[in-house]
């Protein structure tokens, strides 16, 4: 048998390129009715789901998490509400990302938010798209817009779900959640807080209608009932500022906290970056300190068209 050691008795020098193990990295850069963008990175490629904040804000948040926005090759658009598409044209312009959108969603958003024609790719809901090592699966969901869908991102054997803005449980959500290792799952409102809160009646009805959003109880019930076999991490997302609190959302999942790593995504800052395998998600330490004047910090984009 050939020895691991060389004739001189020293261990051979390994090329660091072969030693380095790349991981799937996941981060919420914004989550809530004031803007959403979810980020999945693997090696030199990243996929974003939705982009509902300004590019300036995105740059600041990415910087705090040492995320290189130039890796984003595609942004998948779930629907035309502004908290999901506001920053899509700027993201495409500044990073070269391609906007993946259905024709009907594009028609519904183009008067206000129109990415450059060269940055557009139309996809069919239910037909997987491949981008480098990524496969992006989509499914129909109930929400009060033209052509709503949600996504499951598959890369390096890991499945990440981004499931927000869903009025009620549906077959697509069930089928895709069952395949996920980690899911961003909407936990939008606490029913009692909504009922007794100051939202006008028509808005309350919209939220609970079956084409609005999932409540804490609804989300928890879906996970409890499905008991997704691969799931190890849940990121509760799109939390309402008015009708929910992080602790109320977590409380609905109290009985599942031994089973899953559960975190609440913030409306106002980026989440930690998590390294995800099929077995678990590991929270990575923040790469750099947050500068005081974020707006003054330039993002190093060579050949920028800023």
Binding site for Zn ion (CB under 5 A): 81, 83, 165
Smallest separation (angstroms) from Zn ion to the CB of 112? 15
Of 131 and 169, the one with the shorter C-beta distance to Zn ion is 169
Residue 303 Cβ, how far from Zn ion at the closest point, in Å?
Answer: 33
CB of 163 to Zn ion, least distance (A): 12
Give the nearer residue to Zn ion in terms of CB position, either 41 or 83.
83
Q: Please give the C-alpha separations between residue 304 and each of 6, 46, 96, 256, in angstroms, as whole numbers.
A: 48, 18, 9, 46
**Closest CB 292 distance from Zn ion, rounded Å:** 30
- CB of 32 or CB of 89, closer to Zn ion: 32
Q: Across the chain, which distance is largest between two alpha carbons, in Å? A: 81
By beta-carbon proximity to Zn ion, the closer residue of 80 and 154 is 80
Q: With respect to Zn ion, which residue has the nearer C-beta, 176 or 240?
A: 240
Residue carrying the six token digits 């990121």: 235
Token duo for residue 163:
């499931």
Judge whether 186 and 143 are in contact, CB under 8 Å. no
Nearer to Zn ion, 194 or 281 (CB): 194
Structure tokens at 208: 């609970």
Distance CA 214, CA 189 (A): 7
Nearest approach in angstroms of CB 92 to Zn ion is 20
Query: Is the Cβ–Cβ distance between 266 and 42 less than 8 Å?
Result: no
DSSP letters, 6-63, are -TTSSPPPPPHHHH----EEEEEEE-STT--EEEEEETTEEEEE---S-HHHHHHHHH
State the minimum distance, in angstroms, from the CB of residue 144 to Zn ion.
8
Closest by alpha carbon to 134, among 231, 39, 51, 42?
A: 42
* Host H or E run for residue 108: helix 103-109
């Amino acid at each position: 048998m050939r020895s691991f050691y060389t004739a001189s008795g020293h261990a051979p020098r390994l090329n660091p390129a072969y030693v380095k193990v790349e991981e799937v990295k996941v981060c919420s850069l914004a989550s809530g009715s004031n803007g959403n963008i979810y980020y999945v990175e693997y090696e030199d490629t990243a996929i974003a789901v939705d982009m509902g904040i300004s590019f300036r804000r995105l740059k600041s948040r990415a910087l705090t998490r040492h995320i290189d926005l130039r890796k984003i090759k595609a942004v998948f658009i779930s629907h035309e509400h502004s908290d999901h598409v506001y920053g899509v044209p700027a993201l495409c312009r500044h990073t070269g990302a391609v906007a993946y959108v259905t024709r009907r969603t594009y028609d519904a958003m183009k008067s206000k938010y129109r990415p450059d024609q060269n940055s557009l790719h139309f996809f069919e809901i239910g037909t997987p798209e491949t981008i480098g090592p990524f496969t992006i699966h989509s499914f129909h969901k109930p929400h009060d817009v033209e052509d709503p869908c949600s996504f499951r991102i598959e890369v390096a054997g890991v499945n990440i779900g981004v499931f927000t803005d869903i009025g009620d449980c549906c077959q697509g959500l069930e089928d895709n959640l069952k395949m996920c290792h980690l899911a961003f799952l909407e936990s939008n409102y606490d029913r009692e807080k909504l009922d007794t809160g100051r939202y006008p009646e028509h808005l309350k009805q919209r939220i609970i209608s079956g084409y609005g959003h999932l409540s804490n109880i609804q989300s928890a019930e879906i996970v409890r009932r499905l008991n997704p076999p691969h799931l190890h991490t849940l990121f509760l997302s799109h939390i309402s500022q008015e009708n929910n609190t992080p602790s109320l959302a977590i409380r609905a999942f109290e009985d599942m906290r031994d089973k899953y790593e559960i975190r609440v995504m913030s409306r106002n800052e980026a989440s930690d970056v998590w390294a995800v395998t099929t077995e678990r998600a590991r929270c990575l330490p923040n790469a750099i300190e947050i500068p005081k004047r974020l707006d003054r910090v330039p993002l190093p984009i060579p050949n920028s068209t800023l």
